[in-house]
Amino acid sequence: MVPSSSTQKKQYAKPPDWIRHKPTIKRLYLDLGWTLEKVQSYMEDQHQFYATKSMYKKRLQVWQFVKNSKRDVQPMRPQQDIRKDIPLRLAVNDASPTSSGSPWGMFTAPPRAPSLSDLQRTVAALQLYYRASLYAVDTPHGDWQRLVLGTGTAEDSHTVHEKVLRLLRINDTFLFVAELIRTRGCPSLIQMLQPLFDNLRWAVTSHNPETIICLLRLLQGIRLRQQSGLACILKGYVSEMSSTVLGKSHQFSVIWRQLSRYTRDEMAEVEKHLLSAASFEWRCALNGDGTPSATPFDSMLDEYVLRWENVVTRARTWLDIYRCCRAARSEKAAPGTPASSALRVALEHFIAGRFADAEASIQIVCRETDSGNAPDLPPLILTWTLAGLGFVMLDTGNLESAANLFRLSILNSERAGEIAEKDTTQLALQFVLDRQKSSQHGSAKYPSGFAMGTLEVGAKHYDVGTKAHLFATLKGALYRSP
């Protein structure tokens, strides 16, 4: 409910406002056991929802929201006291902290077989913890609680993804719950805590795609900790969201299929860079001209610069991915300086964002290779530089150059005997050819990256869904046994 322009006069809630906020009021009044005065104060502060106490009573009677009077006056305990009391309420099995200094080390108690009463105590402890932390909006736990309850204001939707990223630390509430599930390995506990993840799904469907990144990072952590039960729940959510929130045929998917073949240790750094690149591209999706909300950039020049910076960062990201792949594919690190001077110049142009110059220099390198005049040329560097430039051209809508660069990358990988790189670039080339074919038939089945054409300025060239397909491919790799 939005108050009137006058700060001196409140605009009281109308029937549609009551219907819209009914779930929140029910959750606070019945599920959390808040007093009517506290619910009234919270709704005014957080939702600008104004109603008198008599209006609340009348509406609660119509809704048949009746609770025990003793529970109505039950005082809330301070959050700090609740957190101190959590270890006493938890029945920990033979769990051990996953790393030194992990926050749940303090929760470890003498081993004891889990039982129904243990599970009930666990749920009770979590409920008390969540109730106590609801007002602690200045802490990550408070931010998490607002997200779980779905009681955030409209302004929160624009900043909640930044808050959620803070929650991905090892000591946040989400992983605290996941650790409890892991230590017990009990499906009953997973089922009881599942509503928490239902609310997380609500956050994603409320046009907050950054939450998908959080989901996938949590999935990765859960998989590494063998929390299979919880992982199955989240996997189902990501699969369901893929058909509505996520898009199809993202070019990142062609690279992930090959990178996922590495062992877990080798993939650690690669995964970090891929998720970093995905996070960057989602920020572009949220702030660029394709976002559902209004763009924060006022002038066409700003939009042009934004797209160009996007592509520059994308190019540097691909070089970072190359370095990780090089380290994973070989025991020795990638050489710091290529022997070919033309290749070194091409990389300098590439990193600086001078892509036309980089393409010209890389063509010289290819001619040197064809003539046999490229001494000690590192083939993997050339392969990935060609592929990186190919993806840049794909982003800028230059499909012809992208196809040519991918063909050169395939040829170079064949010469070097790099099967994985060859398969990857072949998939990328097929992606470009399919896009060219769909463009010729007037069907934008595969919208391009940051712009559908060249770097001209235009409205609605960018489809948010195309960037999200990374996650649809990523989720499968996260569950694949290393």
3-state secondary structure the chain: CCCCCCCCCCCECCHHHHHHHHHHHHHHHHHCCCCHHHHHHHHHHHHCCECCHHHHHHHHHHHCCCCCHHHHCCCCCCHHHHHHHHHHHCCCCCCCCCCCCCHHHHHCCCCCCCCHHHHHHHHHHHHHHHHHHCCCCCCHHHHHHHHHHCCCCCCHHHHHHHHHHHCCCCCCHHHHHHHHHHHHCCHHHHHHHHHHHHHHHHHHHCCCCHHHHHHHHHHHHHHHCCCHHHHHHHHHHHHHHHCCCCCCCCCHHHHHHHHCCCCHHHHHHHHHHHHHHHHHHHHHHHHCCCCCCCCCCCCHHHHHHHHHHHHHHHHHHHHHHHHHHHHHHCCCCCCCCCCCHHHHHHHHHHHHCCHHHHHHHHHHHHHHHHHCCCCCCCHHHHHHHHHHHHHHHHHCCCHHHHHHHHHHHHHHHHHHCCHHHHHHHHHHHHHHHHHHHHHHCCCCCCCCCCCCCCCCCCCCCCCHHHHHHHHHHHHHHHHCCC
Confidence at residue 373, expressed as pLDDT on a 0 to 100 scale: 66
Residue with token string 């001196």: 8
Pairwise CA distance, residues 132 & 32, whole Å = 10
Residue ranges of the chain with pLDDT lower than 70? 1-9, 68-341, 351-353, 373-378, 380, 395, 420-421, 423-424, 441-482
- Helices 379-395/355-371 angle, 10° precision: 140
Identify the bridge partners of residue 50 per DSSP, sorted by sequence position: 12
Confidence at residue 268, expressed as pLDDT on a 0 to 100 scale: 56
Chain-centre distance of CA 188, in angstroms? 28
Confidence at residue 62, expressed as pLDDT on a 0 to 100 scale: 82
Confidence at residue 260, expressed as pLDDT on a 0 to 100 scale: 45
CB 345 within 8 A of CB 338: no
Domain map (residue ranges) of the chain: 15-72, 82-245, 275-479
Confidence at residue 347, expressed as pLDDT on a 0 to 100 scale: 74
Confidence at residue 51, expressed as pLDDT on a 0 to 100 scale: 92
Confidence at residue 269, expressed as pLDDT on a 0 to 100 scale: 53
